[in-house]
Structure 1
Amino acid sequence: EMANIRNQCSWVHSNNWDQATTKAKQLTRMAVGKASKLQPLKIAEVPVNNAALIIGGGAAGLSAAFTLADQGFPVHIVEREDKLGGNLKHLHYFVPTNGKETQWNPKEYLAEMIYKAKQHPLIHIHLNTELANTTGFKGNFVSTLKNSHSFQVEHGIIIVATGGEEYKGPEYGYGKSDRIVTQLEFEQILSESSSLSRLPQSVVMIQCVGPAERFCSRLCCTTALKNALKLKELNPSANITILYRDIRTYGFKERLYTKARAEGIQFIQFEFDDKPDVVIEVGDDHQTISSKSEILVKIKEQILGRKITLNPDLLVLSTPVIASKGTRDLASKLKLSIDMDGFFLEAHVKLRPVDFSADGIFMAGLAHYPKFLDETIAQAQAAASRAAGILSQKTMLTNARVAVVDPLQCVGCLTCVRICPYDVPKIKQNYTGVGNIVGAAFIEPAVCHGCGSCASECPAQAIQLMHYTDAQTIRKLDALFEGKPSDSPVIPIDLIDVI
């Protein structure tokens, strides 16, 4: 036990020495009082399963799999679709670096990754498969996977790389005309246009669509500039106008913005409260919208100070990346946190950026937040490195500060079973509870996270959180108020079952 005099006295009361001294005496007295009730904490060694389970077979999942498999760890990739690749399947062009095209295009790069994964002897791929449930703890998980049938996989860590997806909402008339498309759909059009006649002559792009009004998706501006420059390359006479709130091309991608302006691409800014208006002209019956229906985009030009109307052949919406379908369901199964935008939430943005709060589970790629391919690969390798730190161990020590049940006080009310966020407490029939009832609660020390929820909710006070027992806490409070020490029940250390 430690009395933290530096942080809780010296620092916070540096201008009041007398108050700091008085408080230091109180903290020391409390620490001594608790120390008089301390008990030795038991730990045990448990074997570590050195296999990895990666949920998601996109760029992040494959990169993490290569990093682990090349170090000799078996890897299971779970992909719910019938093909590997994730969002990389939908890309046709990489963003030029230093003004030059990359050596590979996305299709070639993905084909090489898939071929390598299928040929690797330690990588096991499960397509059309989803995670049904997971039990166990860091170093020893057992997951049930489901496709045409259910089967179990034992593994030591989990990497969540479920990716994201392009938002497709009703904003700006999307879905009403085949001439209103997203950036990925526009990239598909550019890749399939074999002749100049099939390319649009005038294009308007609108940035910050839908959820991107709440958060920056980071990719939208760069993707818009990439596709605009590609159209200029294929059709130099094309008239391209980008309507934006704020252009954000991270890092050296700012060169794309400079090049786009040099190529004659027009940029018109709009305010959040004065967004562009899109009008689709209907047919003579005032109801039918056809592929020939004109699209009118009205926007206030800031320099002219008046509304202008654009009549493009194609309207391209820069929609953001959002969390993939099933993210909340997966978070519920694995007891993971998600942020207000639906992406998975890391344990600490600076200290543990690829870890979840749940031990032994890591994240990578778009499942975390929107990011570029190079950032995705880097984060996947970081997550794999963190995971390798666990898989490389033969055994691990269990947590000592865990909840412990005194079966002689347990009434088998199931309160701890219902309240535990990690589903750890179980009722064991071979235990005898209070009044010789059959069955009492048992908490597996290796799985317990030591959160204390069960100890605070137990109506019979049969559960104690080791190192924070009732007896220790009460003795600490008695020392604070200089009262007479009270005797509180203590669970003997011999009653604690460890593996």
Structure 2
Amino acid sequence: AGETPRIGIFVCHCGKNIHGFLDTVEVARYAADLPFVEYATDVMFACSEDTQKDITRKIKEKGLNRVIVAACSPITHGALFQDTLIAAGLNKYLFEFANIRQHCSWVHSHDRATATQKAKDLVRMAVGKAALLEPLDQEEVSVTPAVLIIGGGLAGMRAALALADMKIRSYIVEREPELGGVLRRLHTLFPLDVRARDVIDPLIDRVIASEHITVMTGSTVQAVEGFIGNFSATVGTHDGDREIEFGTAIIASGFGEIDLTGRYGYGQSDRVMTQTELEERLASDDLPPVRNVVMINCAGAMEPERPYCCRVGCGVSIKNAKLIKARYPDTDIYILYRDIRMFGKDEEEYFADVIENLRVKIVRYDLERRPVVEVDADGNVVVRVHDQVYGDDLVLPADLLVLTAQTEGDPSTEDLMEMFKIPAGPGRFLIEAHAKIRPLDFATDGVYFCGSAHFPKNLADTIAQAEGAASRAAIPIMKGRLVLEGITAAVDDARCVGCGLCVSACPYGAIDLVDGKASVNTALCKGCGVCAATCRSGAIQQRGFKDEQILTMIREAIHEVF
């Protein structure tokens, strides 16, 4: 800070990903003549260990106090280069990234000259901003060594047990009177044909016996405050409200079937039920002999209101058809489907075996000609359907009509979204921060998810995600202390008029009015810049992206045009 900028620039070939579509050597030569640039070169792979060592060496040899890398995405490699600056003795926020892969070589792959010129423009803009960069401080906070797990189904319990193996305390908050989630209502599991109780009961026993796990059934989270490392929650229990402090949280709130009342005869006859209700009847040995069974898959699915596939319905219907055939071999079973989707070799072979050897019939229908269910005064059921494959109109009497209902996230998701500032998409299923880079995280630090709260999953995927979420939640706790992000909003009290627009605009609840002035909780702030854009008096600036820095980049972008 206060020194004359001495900028070093490293232009990456990325093999042929960049150099194959633009002239990286020319970009480096151009960059060398820009103001404040002391050193510029092109490298084969900027992210390689050798180049990291070279960057460190050049910082020391040339006395560089700013570094620019022109390469790929800062999302994937920004932290790597920041760590290199730290190793060289520089503040990591004196680094700037110019993305010349996605923004140049990929989008202008058929025009080398244009891609090269645009890369020069982006580097020039980065130099303009880099000259104005300032070292930023990062706060440290202690971490409460406990994890809150919302949901006591398979995912929540496996996450808690994984944490217990690491000697980390967890609190399971489950709304229902007992643990187990959806698996408590199932009879067997596809495609293993094992009893659900044989899977879930031993887990419940292990959870209850663990000294590191506190279980609160019949309870709900009422309110959440705080930030990563220092959360607190009010939990409503049978004995009144209880306050819990925790460092991280895992959302494992699960899913359920949608309400089909009024559709496909559901609610009009006791002969019409969902797959889950059928499973309960099978588990309790309460299914009377049936001669004709019709199953309607995709009930309420892949429609404008819920356009997604539930992913597990086809397997459940095939598995339950097999169970009925095992009890009543002479039963005729029709499965009416939009698409049959079996995920995996075992699942596909299971499906083929049931269709071919048990003579379960499948009939394809389309959205425009969905099955029509007729229920008479005595509760008798008839299903009319147009066979899309053969073009026949079928009339199917049904002693039992089973609806493979569409699924959606638990109703509590909407409250959790508000309390934890987390997003959900269609069907109230939770959305990760990044499908590849942060597949178990939310943008809100310290909050993770697993299981069917994200989307319906099979047993193996649920367990894998639960243990992954537990590992993610454990990292801050194992560290003991956390270094917070330095790129946050800063308020100039002299200019703040206390209008409160920033408070309502902040998507993370990081701003409050204190004594009539905006005050930023830097632990909650994600540096998104919404408050700075909202502030009418210009009282809020975002560190690392101040108005002067952004305006300089704009001027550099257009300086050759005007």
Q: TM-score, normalised by structure 2?
A: 0.76
Query: What displacement does 1:327 show?
Result: 1.5
In the alignment, the residues of structure 2 paired with residue 356 and residue 297 of structure 1 have an alpha-carbon distance, to the nearest angstrom, of 44
Q: Which runs of 5+ in 2 are unaligned?
A: 1-94
Q: What's the counterpart of residue 479 of structure 2?
A: 393
What is the CA–CA distance in structure 2 between the aligned matches of 1:470 and 1:313, rounded to whole Å? 71
Letter in 2 for 1:440: K
For residues 134 and 336 of structure 1, the distance between their equivalents in structure 2, rounded to whole angstroms, comes to 12
Structure 1 residue 134: Cα displacement:
1.6
The count of corresponding residues between Structure 1 and Structure 2 is 458
Amino acid at match of 2:297: Q
Change (3 A) 1:194 1:362: closer
Distance change (3 Å), C-alpha of 1:319 and 1:479: closer
User: Which residue number in structure 2 is paired with residue 310 of structure 1?
Assistant: 396
Query: What amino acid is the match of 1:256?
Result: Y
> Offset at 1:21?
6.1
Task: Report the Cα distance in structure 1 between the residues aligned to 2:157 and 2:543, rounded to whole angstroms.
Answer: 41
- Bigger mean CA offset, 146-155 vs 162-171: 146-155
Over the aligned positions, Cα root-mean-square deviation in angstroms equals 2.4
Match of 2:522 in 1: 445
Per the alignment, residue 487 of structure 1 pairs with: none
Give the equivalent residue in structure 2 for 1:89: 184
Higher mean displacement: 467-476 or 338-347: 467-476
Q: 1:168: how far off?
A: 2.9
**Shift in Å, 1:55:** 0.5
- Alpha-carbon distance between aligned partners in 2 of 1:373 and 1:346, rounded to the nearest angstrom: 20
Pair 279,32 (structure 1): closer, same or farther in 2 beyond 3 Å: closer
Paired residues of 2:98 and 2:126 also in contact (CA < 8 A): no
1:494 is matched with which residue? none
Q: Specify every segment of 5 or more residues in structure 1 that has no aligned partner in the other structure, as ranges.
A: 283-289, 430-438, 484-499
Residue 517 of structure 2: SS of its match in structure 1?
strand
C-alpha separation between the residues in 1 aligned to 2:116 and 2:200? 65
Q: 2:350 aligns with which of 252, 256, 263?
A: 256
Distance, in Å, in 2 between the alignment partners of 1:406 and 1:202 is: 74
Aligned to 2:215: 125
Q: Are 1:321 and 2:411 counterparts?
A: no
1:146 counterpart = 2:236: yes
Q: 2:446 aligned with 1:360, yes or no? A: yes
User: How far, CA to CA, are the matches of 1:9 and 1:374 in structure 2?
Assistant: 41
Indicate if the aligned counterparts of 1:117 and 1:123 stay in contact, CA closer than 8 A: yes
Q: Give 3-state SS (helix, strand or coil) of 2:316's partner.
A: helix
Equivalence map 1:371-386=2 (5 Å): 371-386=457-472
Q: 1:28 to 1:234 in 2, by over 3 A?
A: closer
1:404 is matched with which residue: 462, 470, 490? 490
| Number of the residue aligned with 2:430 | 344
Question: Could you say what secondary structure the match of 1:243 adopts?
Answer: strand
Matching residue's letter, 1:362: Y
CA shift digits 1:209-248 (9 cap, x unpaired): 0135432111111111111111111121222222222222
**Aligned CA distance change for structure 1 residues 397 and 304 (closer, same or farther; 3 Å):** closer
Question: Are 2:314 and 1:247 aligned?
Answer: no
Partner of 1:173: 265
Q: CA contact under 8 A between 1:346 and 1:356: conserved in structure 2? A: yes
Superposed, 1:178-257 pairs within 5 Å as 178-193=270-285, 198-213=288-303, 214-251=307-344, 252-257=346-351
Which letter maps to 1:417? V
Question: What residue is the counterpart of 1:465 in the other structure?
Answer: 542
In the alignment, is residue 108 of structure 1 matched against residue 194 of structure 2? no
Task: Name the CA shift for 1:237/1:456 in 2 (closer, same or farther; >3 Å).
Answer: same
Residue 88 of structure 1 and its aligned partner are, at CA, apart by: 0.9
Contact 1:91–1:187 under 8 Å retained in 2: yes
1:283-294, aligned counterparts within 5 Å? 290=378, 293-294=379-380
TM-score by length of 1: 0.86
Deviations 1:81-122 (A, max 9, x none): 21111101101122353xxx53xx212322211111111011
Structure 1 Cα separation of the partners of residues 362 and 108 of structure 2: 56
SS in 2 for 1:366: helix
Separation in structure 2 between the aligned mates of residue 382 and residue 49 of structure 1, nearest angstrom: 20
Alpha-carbon distance in structure 1 between the residues aligned to 2:437 and 2:227: 22
SS of structure 2 residue aligned to 1:396? strand
CA distance in 2, matches of 1:443, 1:70: 37
Higher relative CO (Cα under 8 Å, sequence separation at least 6) belongs to 1
Give the Å deviation of 1:45.
1.8
Paired residues of 2:186 and 2:283 also in contact (CA < 8 A): no
Which of residues 57, 62, 65 in structure 1 aligns to 2:160? 65
Partner residue in 2 for 1:75: 170
Deviation string for 1:129-152 (max 9, x for gaps)?
211222222222122222352232
Inter-partner Cα distance in structure 2 for 1:356 and 1:87: 24
Cα shift at 1:185: 1.4
Identify the residue that residue 491 of structure 1 maps to in structure 2: none
Aligned equivalent of 1:455: 532
**CA apart distance, 1:30:** 3.6
Instruction: Give the conservation status (yes or no) of the 8 Å contact 2:170–2:214.
Output: yes
- Change in CA separation of 1:216 and 1:303 when aligned onto 2, cut-off 3 Å: closer
With over 3 angstroms needed to count, the CA separation of the structure-2 counterparts of 1:477 and 1:277, relative to structure 1, is closer
* Cα gap change, 1:152 to 1:17, in 2 (>3 Å): same
Once residues 302 and 15 of structure 1 are traced to their aligned partners in structure 2, the CA distance between those partners, rounded to angstroms, is 44
- Between the aligned residues of both structures, percent identity stands at 38
Q: Is the 8 A contact 2:100 2:122 kept in 1?
A: no
SS in structure 1 of the partner of residue 268 of structure 2: coil
SS in 1 for 2:340: coil
3-state SS, counterpart of residue 78 of structure 1: strand
**Per the alignment, do residues 466 and 305 of structure 1 end up closer, same or farther by CA in structure 2, a change over 3 Å counting?**
closer
- 1:260 is matched by which residue type in structure 2? V
CA distance in 2, matches of 1:10, 1:215: 34
Question: Separation in 2 of the partners of 1:413 and 1:407?
Answer: 12
Using the alignment, how far apart are the partners of 2:180 and 2:99 within structure 1?
54
Map 1:149-164 to 2 at 5 A: 149-164=240-255
Query: Do the aligned residues in 2 keep the contact of 1:49 with 1:154 (CA within 8 Å)?
Result: yes
**1:302 positional shift:** 5.2
In the alignment, which residue of structure 2 is the partner of 1:489? Answer: none
Cα distance in 2 for residues equivalent to 1:38 and 1:399: 16
Change in CA separation of 1:187 and 1:135 when aligned onto 2, cut-off 3 Å: same
